[in-house]
Amino acid sequence: MNWKSAKLIFYLGTFISLAIFLVLTFDTHRQVETLTHADKLSPEVIAGKRVWHKYNCNDCHTILGFGSYYAPDMTKAYWRLGADGIKRIVREPEKYTTWRKMPRFAVTDEELDRLVAFLRWTSEIDTNEWPPQDQKLKPGLLAQPRPAAVSAGLSPGAALFQEKGCFSCHRLNDTGGTIGPDLTHVGARVPQATIAKILTDPRSVKADAIMPPTALSAPETEMLARFLGEMK
Amino acid sequence: MPLPYKTQRVAYPYFVIALLLFVLQVIFGIWLALSYAVTIPQWLVDVLPFSTTRAIHTNLLVLWILLGFMGTTYYMIPEESERELYSPKLAYAQLALLTGVGVTAIIGFIFGWTKGKPLLEIPFPLDWLVVVGALIFLFNVGMTIVLARRWTVIQGSLFGGLVFLAAMYLFNLPFYNNLTIDWYYWWWVIHLWVEGAWELIAAALTAWILIKITSVPRETVEKWLYVELGLFLFTGITGTGHHYYWLGAPKYWLWFGGIFSALEPLPILLMVADAGHYVRNRRMEIKGKLIFTLATGMAIIHFIGAGFWGFLHTLPQINYYTHGSQVTVAHGHIAFFGAYVLLNLMFFYYAMPKLRGLEEFDERRGTFAFWWLSITMMLMTLAFSVAGVLQTYIERVMGMGYMTAQAQMRFWFAILVVLGGALLAGVILTVVDLLTLRAPRSAERDSAGRSAAATVSHS
């Protein structure tokens, strides 16, 4: 190989790739506006991003799959946990973790609201269906018509089940998550009173439960326990 | 043998500090593996979370690798430009500044002072001081080259790489409102460093060493350098796209990222072929056997780590399941080790004896340490990979909970704690060896002390 072709490979290789990269970067900026719903980047969402940085969340959790790998990915955390779930875990992490701990941070309520706003916005980014394990929780999917047993019109207990995000972890008639047990026939296995106890404080029944205590009122707990007790 | 240029001496403290930080980095790494394997009590997690120790582990890595590059550059530039360094005082000031910033940042992390962006946690205004340090460095090196008026391809590649490196860091300075854009430019720092700027620096340093220790003509080496850099930059720049599959960027990145990064192993393969070529054509058998071992080892493990392990999960169809899992960690460890740790060690072993006034040195400990480190790191990579495959399958394919997968991976992290201990032993051996290099036995017996000429004539 002579000098001329060696230099040609260097200059062509570098500049062709650089040109492609810069053109795509320009176009990406244009499209990201839509793909990330940049119009919804409210001051609260941006303040939430600062909270995310302040507590260095990203050096344990991944987000968009980037960061450290020590704790669950937060891209679709809002789908999995909802606003309440996120807040409860950050406030009292020791209640929701078993053998791997999350630090207790002195996060203020205002910061928590902002963090939730940020994670809600993040969950709406079009990530080409990533991460795979959270796709079953896609809000659109849960809103689709479902079997009669869980249609909101049928029983107030079923409505609660849907509203409180139980589907994030549990399945009923082939719908919902797989983190917790399938509850389609839970009434045949677990008495209604025990269900109510689990709803209030899961660890009072199973010491190493990873399910968070629900923040339901007493009548709500009873309603939901009755609904689940009838799932036989 | 005196150094050709006395200002090359400024490299020495750079190397010493880099080596000490290397030991610290591995110690923190073992703690991280332990945090995956066993339960760290809540009170300790509250005081010293994983996030803090992880930030320390990765920042120490970046800091020592960069200090190594800088020391190496200061060692090489006078010889390559045939002129003393522009200002040794500035070089020492820069080292003091960067080490000071690094130590302050690490202590700051422990007290929660952080920018909160992985790998780039150094907060304002320390990040600006890093820029100041980089500018001093570029000024000092640039002035030396300019005043020498001797422009070589190797200098061009090295200085180009250093400017590229410093320029990319600037993308880390602003606060980005949009998370997607934030990560988009985060990769301009991280990816374009390791698969762009650092490769330029690495290729230049390797080329320089090969000219020094083989009789391959400069012209051949520099021609190949052009070709290699062309391929590195062609695949590396647009290859950044393999990080843009799932972050909210347009779908065409799946094509551009996939195709360009599939080509990324090519320049590394060329490097391996190149190294083989030099090894076959070497003339001077006596000096620098260890340097050759390190150069060949670097080329091969660079290919295994950055090339093969990278290729394994770079295609979108696979990356969809492996993205952000321990598979990434496996790739990260072996790629950094093969590409940049061994590069630094190779240069340390080249320059340290000369800085310590040795013509030759006893290579046995160093050779043993090289094999020990390389084998341990390969085993670590396999352990990370098994953990990664488990995680990918249980969490991503089966759709079970994050912690369900982590529970199955604990065993492999227990193995990693043990391997980490072994790695630490190897690192300490390397550091001790480098700091206490001595002449080989045969030379000690040579009462005249002019061993070099004698040994060469023996061969």
As for the ipTM of the complex, it is 0.93
* Yes or no, beta carbons of B224 and A6 under 8 Å apart: yes
Cβ of B248 and A67 within 8 Å?
no
Does B113 fall in a domain?
yes
Would you call B288 helix, strand, or coil by DSSP? coil
- Answer whether residue B198 shows pLDDT above 50: yes
B185 within a domain of the structure (yes/no): yes
C-beta separation of B85 from B146 below 8 A: no
Separation of alpha carbons A170 and A193, rounded Å: 19
Long-range contacts made by residues A71-74, C-beta under 8 angstroms, separation at least 24?
A: A71/A100, A71/A102, A71/B402, A72/B402, A72/B403, A73/A131, A73/A134, A73/B324, A73/B402, A74/A119, A74/A122
Please report, rounded to a whole number, the percentage of residues in chain B having pLDDT higher than 70: 94
Which of A66, A100, A133 has its CB closest to that of B396?
A133
Torsion angles phi and psi, residue A66, rounded to 5: -110, 150
Tell me what pLDDT residue B342 has: 97
Inform me whether the C-beta atom of residue B223 falls under 8 Å from chain A C-beta atoms. yes
Inform me whether the C-beta atom of residue B183 falls under 8 Å from chain A C-beta atoms.
Answer: yes
- What is the average pLDDT score of chain A? 88
In this prediction, residue B447 carries a pLDDT of 45
Residues B380-400 have a mean pLDDT of 95
> Quick check: is B324 in a domain?
yes
Residue among A12, A20, A100 minimizing CB distance to B256: A20
Angle at which helices B198-213 and B342-355 pack, to 10 degrees?
Answer: 50
Q: For the segment B350-362, what is each residue's pLDDT rounded down to a tens digit?
A: 999 999 999 889 9
Contact B51 A59 (CB under 8 A): yes
Residue B215's pLDDT band (cuts 50, 70, 90): confident
Sort out which chain A residues have CB atoms less than 8 A from B399's CB and list them: 132-133, 136, 177-178
- Mark yes or no for CB contact B256/A56 under 8 Å: no
Sign of the alpha-carbon torsion through A208, A210, A215, A221: negative
Average pLDDT score over residue span B215-221: 84
- Residue type at position B281: N
With a CB-CB cutoff of 8 Å, which residues 108-147 of chain B face chain A?
112, 114-118, 121
Burial class of A58 by CB neighbour count within 10 A (0 to 12, 13 to 18, 19+)? buried
Report the residue from B118, B246, B250 with minimal CB separation from A130.
B246
Give chain A positions within 8 Å (CB) of B46. Answer: 103-104
Give the pLDDT band of residue B283 (cuts 50, 70, 90). Answer: low
Judged by a CB distance cut-off of 8 A, whether residue A79 touches chain B is no
Residue B451 maps to a domain: no
Chain A residues within 8 A of B325 when measuring between CB atoms = 69
Alpha helices in B356-395 (DSSP H): 364-391
* CA–CA distance, B198 with B69 (Å, rounded to integer): 9
* CB within 8 Å: B45 and A101: yes
Residues on chain B touching A169 (C-beta within 8 angstroms)? 401
CA B449, B452, B457, B459 torsion: positive or negative? positive
Residue B207's CATH number: 1.20.210.10
pLDDT of residue B450: 46
* Minimal CA separation from B303 to chain A, in Å: 20
Residue B133: pLDDT band by 50, 70, 90 thresholds?
very high
Statement: residue B2 has pLDDT above 80 = no
Domain count, chain B: 1
Q: Cα–Cα distance between A232 and B7 in angstroms, integer? A: 83
Q: Which residues of chain A have pLDDT under 70?
A: 140-154
Q: Which of A153-157, B51-55, B65-69, B113-117 has the lowest mean pLDDT?
A: A153-157
Using CB atoms, pick whichever of B236, B249, B260 lies closest to residue A35.
B249
Per-residue pLDDT band for B72 (boundaries 50, 70, 90) equals very high
Residue B154 and residue B160: Cα distance in Å, rounded?
10
A67 touches chain B (CB under 8 A): yes
pTM of the model: 0.87
pLDDT in tens, A71-121: 999 999 999 888 988 998 999 999 888 899 999 999 999 999 999 999 999
Tell me the one-letter amino acid at B74: Y
Q: Among A181-185, B333-337, B422-426, where is mean pLDDT lowest?
A: A181-185
- Find the CB nearest A27 among B223, B250, B406: B250
In a domain, B459, yes or no: no
pLDDT (average), residues B401-422: 95
Query: Residue B444 domain-assigned?
Result: no
Q: Which of B175, B230, B403 lies nearest to residue A210, judging by beta carbons? A: B403
Chain A nearest-CA distance from B446, in A, is 46
A212 touches chain B (CB under 8 A): no
pLDDT (0 to 100) of residue A150: 46
Beta bridge partners of A67: A62
Please indicate, yes or no, if residue B446 is contained in any of the structural domains.
no
In a domain, residue B450? The reply is: no
Between CA B211 and CA B440 the distance in angstroms is 24
Q: Which pLDDT band holds residue B213 (cuts at 50, 70, 90)? A: confident
- pLDDT category, B451, cuts 50, 70, 90? very low
pLDDT score of A159: 78
A21 touches chain B (CB under 8 A): yes
Q: Which of B52, B186, B396 sits opposite A131 (nearest CB)?
A: B396
| Structural domain boundaries enclosing B426 | 6-437
Give the pLDDT confidence score for residue B181 in this predicted structure: 98
